[in-house]
Amino acid sequence: MISNKSDALDEMESSCSFQRHVTHVLANDEVNALVNQKSKFKWEMPAEDIPKSKWVGTGEKIKGASDDPFVDVKGKLKDHWQKILSDDLNYRSRFFSLCNSYRDIMHCNKKPFYLKGSKVDSSTMDAYLMHALSHVHRTRDVVIKNDAKLRNDANTDVMEDDSYRDQGFTRPKVLFLLPLKSIARRIVKRLIQLSPLTQKDNSMGQFKKEFGESDDELEEPNSSKPTDFNLLFAGDVEDHFLFGIKFTKKSVKLYSNFYASDIIVASPLALKLKIDGGEVTKKKGRPKENDSDFLSSIEIVVVDYADVISMQVKLQLK
């Protein structure tokens, strides 16, 4: 009976977008087709939250796609999102479905919070945060499931069975690249709200100290500057930050060791210095050794507020 249940779960898991994405192996003819073909938009879907707009994409639609974009999401995540978002969950569904298809996405019509006369719209941010959470939880479940199988069958040849290829060289799977600390604070706080893990970690105190606690701490606007300038630069404009986020069974831990983290949050400047080994040690005043291997297994990269990053040094992002 247990075996049948397990087989049923395996069949259900294999049909989800996560499994289709991570288990697909590109054949040589697929690679050649991608290299030689010209990119043409072959499908479209309405952009319900953007008037007179639509999403267009290259390639074919994912086979087996469901009308319910949250059908692949773990129950505890979906229940939590339904609880905190209620009817607003539907407004996140379209963009979430794009993210959940594991396609490269370029969104040029996102409404920033600092745009004059624009109502703050967090639907896009919520959607990609929900996708990141779903991906992290799915990845962890696969690892735990395979570890249990290996414990029960010590004779399994993991070198011959591709189904056990569930991990990269390092643990981090998601990278958020953001321009300013004030923006990072908004996104990390929202990420924690969207996570069903309720147990608090001591690192939250350090986060509040370094990134601030609320918008009440914003500076007074400068009357000589445009409204969008005042809104964007009212918070902490520090552009050097880099830290990890780890999800355990019960809690979310910030400032975790990079190699033990699930998500990396960074500014382009801090990440470039880390990659180049340009950070300076406090004790000896010498550059640190190049240590960026924790980026070797990143599977999702989100670059938000790219317009702000473009006003910084764009070479850092490249």
Domain boundaries, given as residue ranges, for the chain = 1-24+41-167, 171-318
CA angle 196, 198, 199 (to 5 degrees): 140
Question: How many helices and strands in the chain, by DSSP H and E?
Answer: 12, 7
- Most confident option among 70-74, 125-129, 156-160, 210-214: 125-129
Please compute the mean of the pLDDT values over residues 74-96 and round it to a whole number.
Answer: 89
- State the pTM of this model: 0.83
At residue 46 the predicted structure's pLDDT band, cuts being 50, 70 and 90, is confident
Lowest-pLDDT choice from 123-127, 141-145, 237-241: 141-145
- DSSP for residue 214: -
- pLDDT-above-90 percentage for the chain: 32
pLDDT at position 119 over 70 = no
Residue 209 has pLDDT above 70, yes or no: yes
Residue 279 scores a pLDDT above 60: no
User: Given pLDDT bands bounded at 50, 70 and 90, which one contains residue 62?
Assistant: low
Q: What is the CA radius of gyration of the chain?
A: 21
Mean pLDDT to the nearest integer, 104-108: 88
Q: How far apart are CA 143 and CA 315, in angstroms?
A: 36
Q: Lowest mean pLDDT: which of 50-59, 153-162, 251-260? A: 153-162
Give the pLDDT of residue 52. 77
Instruction: For residue 283, name the pLDDT band (cuts at 50, 70, 90).
Output: very low
Q: How much is the average pLDDT of 194-216?
A: 81
d(CA 312, CA 305): 11
The per-residue pLDDT for 278 is: 58
Confidence of residue 1 (pLDDT cuts 50, 70, 90): very low
User: In whole angstroms, what separates CA 16 from the centre of its chain?
Assistant: 18
Residue 124 to residues 92, 94, 112, 121, 318, Cα–Cα distance (Å): 7, 9, 10, 8, 24
Q: Is the pLDDT of residue 103 over 50?
A: yes
Looking up tokens 């291997």 gives 293
Q: In Å, how far are 16, 42, 227, 246 from 58, measured between CA atoms? A: 21, 5, 38, 34
For 4, 116, 139, 172, the CA distances from 135, given in Å and listed in that order, are 26, 34, 6, 11
Q: Does position 2 have pLDDT exceeding 70, yes or no?
A: no
Is it the case that residue 26 has pLDDT exceeding 80?
no
pLDDT for 5 beyond 90: no
DSSP class of residue 251 equals: B
Mean confidence (pLDDT) of the chain: 79
Instruction: Judge contact between 309 and 179, C-beta under 8 A.
Output: yes
Q: Judge whether residue 178 has pLDDT over 50.
A: yes
Segment 209-216 long-range contacts (CB within 8 Å, at least 24 positions apart): 210/181, 210/241, 211/181, 211/182, 211/184, 211/185, 211/236, 211/241, 212/181, 212/182, 212/185, 212/236
**What is the predicted pLDDT for the residue at 280?**
47
Share of the chain above pLDDT 70, in %: 76
**What pLDDT score was predicted for residue 255?**
95
- Give Cα separations from 41 to 57, 61, 83, 178, 317 (angstroms): 5, 11, 36, 29, 27
At residue 261, the pLDDT reads 96
* The pLDDT value given to residue 97: 87
At residue 43, the 3 state secondary structure works out as strand
Least-confidence region, from 36-45, 213-222, 308-317: 213-222
